Structure 1
Amino acid sequence: MNVLVLGGTQFVSRALAIRLIACEHEVTILTRGIAPVDYEGAIRHVRADRTDAASLRQMRGMRFDAVFDVSGYSVRDIAPVLESLALDERTKYVFLSSGAVYRTSDEPMAEDAPKGENEIWGAYGSGKLAAEELLCAQQSRRGFPLAIIRPAYIYGPGNNLYREAYLFDRLERGAAIPIPKGAARTQFVHIDDLVRMLEGLPRLDWRGAEALNYTHPVTIGWEHLVASAAAAVGVEPRSAAVDYRGKLDAREFFPFRDCTYLLDTAKAERFGLALPEVGLAKGLEEAYAWYRRARPTLHDAKMTEVEAALSL
């Protein structure tokens, strides 16, 4: 297939481009040209700002068998791309959205669950939902098959967000990890499972627009997460449950949002998606092996109260 990856240098887009190249697709990547491309095999590297229609003029009229949009977060990101590319029934458009588009629920959310403003996820969820709505409107008008993928937390080697790396940092130093006190449960999907599924998705036969949740089915609590990360590092876990409400925001000391965040994946299975295989223990072992090799310098500007949380 002749495919376009919107992105190509960070975590998901980089892993996806590498997977597509390995599977012998003709891969074009579109990046701003700021971060280096540290792999070979793409047939074309377009350097452009996807939010700037003038910057995308070089793409005008280009047609691909599949477009993988893994760097779109808002209407501002989507509209210029839709204006520039030749999209019709011959091109499958795959948009990586998020489970953050759903309203908060303590139950697993299917694709038809209520969506809209969510105070836990804020602008990120609202932006993804608005992007979905624009894509669906354009799909209805132009006829290109559209798949909207809503994953849970993505993790694994190459993660440029300070999530599992934060856990590894503290575990290696023997520092306690403050975790939100409560019964929140969530799910994760390993990067290898995600890109394996994405690579195979255009080979499925569908028309119209489809929204599909995607995650490993096992649900995880925060203590389990820390214990699994500690096992990967080979140390005893040290966590402290923090009764933070009314004193701090959970994101001021923890890299995940403190809410139950569960996705129903029955539709994905019926649709024929390759379901996740990597469990959390193995996935964190792989993430830690990468962390030890790469020693990434990561930071989360929101996490300013880690030590304060431990004193509560």
Structure 2
Amino acid sequence: MKILVVGGTRYFGIPMVNALLTKGHDVTIATRGNAKVDFEGEVNYVTLDRMDSSSVKRALENQKFDVIIDKIAYSSNDVKTLLENVICERYIQMSTCSVYLNEHANICEDEFVTSDYPLVWMDRIKDYATTKRNAERAVLEYMAPSACTFVRYPIVLGENDYTRRLCFYIEHINNEQAMFVDDLDEAMAFIHEKDAGEFIAYLVDHPINGAVNGCSSGTVKISEIISYIEKKLGKKAILSENGDAAPFNGRKDTLSFNTEKAEKAGFVFPDLNSWLYKLIDYEIGQIIK
């Protein structure tokens, strides 16, 4: 299939594109021209500014794709500038589990119904959840519900995580710096970068209509992450309300997501424990080598 990938040159976009190439798809990557990646196969590139409608039109006018994978649609206007200027049979948007209005365990996709959300045309704002809800809703102005997929992920972790959220805990414990953790017993779900990329690629050949959750099975408490790092480093965490705010703060309850919809389509996510502690070991090795 002929596939346009918008934003596929960093983080889990790389295993996603490699998985598409392995399946023999014809992949074109739309970028601002700042990055080229040594993928495991040949890709085409187009240069555009996806926030500028005229730029998108110049780059993609009269082109038609079987599938568009949009990894960087943050706002409704982002969607508009793209979909008003290119034709596709199917559209896959990387959304987020932040669209859900209430946090609890085992959240199902129907707890946020895209079509019910009142659309506001808007640029990117600080309220990430509102921005992404509108990004989902905007798609339905251009695509039939049966022709689009919204992939909802929790926090993505991996060796290439440029936000260094997991490293925050390792560095603070290793350097004996105080950190503020608002709830040690909060339990969270995550997904590994490789699984995040490969699941989106899987959806090209195994379409799912509407929203679909993706995350590793199981949850982990922040206290368990800290305890593991303490044992590995032989140092105790310094916890203080006056310390640096930890990146996983702000959760109100155990937060996990139901993945039965993905599993019925044939994709099974690994258990969180199968990779999380290996990742912590890797990051510790990178920091103290």
The answer to whether the Cα contact below 8 Å between 2:95 and 2:136 also exists between their aligned partners in 1 is yes
Aligned to 1:109: 107
Q: Which amino acid aligns with 1:100?
A: S
Aligned match of 1:126 in 124, 130, 148? 130
Partner of 1:266: 260
Distance 1:27 1:63 in 2: 13
- Counterpart amino acid of residue 221 in structure 1: K
Aligned to 2:152: 150
2:74 paired with 1:82: no
Q: How does 1:183-194 map to 2 (within 5 A)?
A: 183-194=185-196
Deviation at 1:70, TM superposition (A): 0.8
Q: CA separation in 1, counterparts of 2:21 and 2:284? A: 24
SS at match of 2:83: helix
* Offset, 1:199: 1.4
Does 2:137 match 1:137?
no
TM alignment of 1:166-181, pairs within 5 A: 166-173=168-175, 175=177, 177-181=179-183
Provide the residue aligned with 2:25 in structure 1: 25
Q: CA RMSD in A?
A: 3.0
Q: How far apart, CA to CA, are the structure 2 residues paired with 1:157 and 1:275?
A: 21
**CA 1:32 to 1:241, structure 2 compared with 1: closer, same or farther past 3 Å?**
same
Q: Alpha-carbon deviation of 1:216? A: 1.2
Q: Post-superposition shift, 1:175? A: 4.4
- For the 8 Å contact 2:185–2:223, the answer to whether it is kept is no
Q: CA deviation at 1:144?
A: 6.3
Secondary structure of residue in 1 paired with 2:111? coil
Q: Distance in 2 between matches of 1:180 and 1:257?
A: 6
CA contact (8 A) 1:226 1:237 kept: no
**CA offset at residue 166 of structure 1?**
2.0
Deviations along 1:231-269, one digit per CA (max 9) or x if unpaired, are 7xx424633455x5xx89xxx611124213321222222
Which whole-Å CA distance do the structure 2 matches of 1:114 and 1:52 have between them?
29
How much has 1:97 moved relative to structure 2?
0.3
Question: Residue 70 of structure 1 aligns with which residue?
Answer: 71
- Residue 282 of structure 1 deviates from its aligned partner by 2.4
Corresponding residue number in structure 2 for 1:305: none
Contact conserved, 1:93 with 1:144, CA < 8 A, in 2?
A: no
- For 2:225 and 2:102, the matched residues in 1 are separated by 21
Aligned to 1:41, the other structure's residue is in SS state coil
Does the aligned pair in 2 maintain the 1:102–1:113 contact within 8 Å? Answer: yes
The Cα shift of 1:176 comes to 5.4
> Which residue in 2 is equivalent to 1:12?
12
| AA in 1 matched with 2:14 | R
2-side partners of 1:98 and 1:213: how far apart? 9
- Contact map agreement 2:184 2:223 (CA 8 A) in 1: no
TM-score where L is the length of structure 2: 0.82
Say whether the 8 Å CA contact 2:217–2:272 is kept in structure 1: no
Aligned 8 A contact 1:197 1:275 in 2: no
CA distance in structure 2 between the aligned counterparts of 1:122 and 1:262, rounded to whole angstroms? 24
Q: Is the 8 A contact 1:94 1:147 kept in 2?
A: yes
Structure 2, gaps ≥5 residues long = 119-124
Structure 2 contact 178–239 (Cα < 8 Å) conserved: no
Is the Cα–Cα contact under 8 Å of residues 149 and 211 in structure 1 kept in the other structure?
Answer: yes
The match for 1:235 among 225, 233, 236 is: 233
Question: Does 2:285 match 1:285?
Answer: no
Preserved contact between residue 155 and residue 188 of structure 1 (Cα < 8 Å)? yes
Q: What is the aligned length?
A: 275
Relative to structure 1, the CA distance from residue 237 to residue 5 in structure 2 (aligned partners, 3 Å threshold; closer, same or farther) is: farther
Residues 281 and 92 of structure 1: CA distance in aligned 2, closer, same or farther (over 3 Å): same
Which structure 1 residue ranges, 5 or more long, are not aligned? 296-312
* Number of the residue aligned with 1:303: none
- Deviations along 1:201-235, whole A, 9 cap, x unmatched? 121255xx41111111211211122334567xx42
Give the deviation of 1:29 after TM superposition: 0.7
Q: CA deviation at 1:281?
A: 5.4
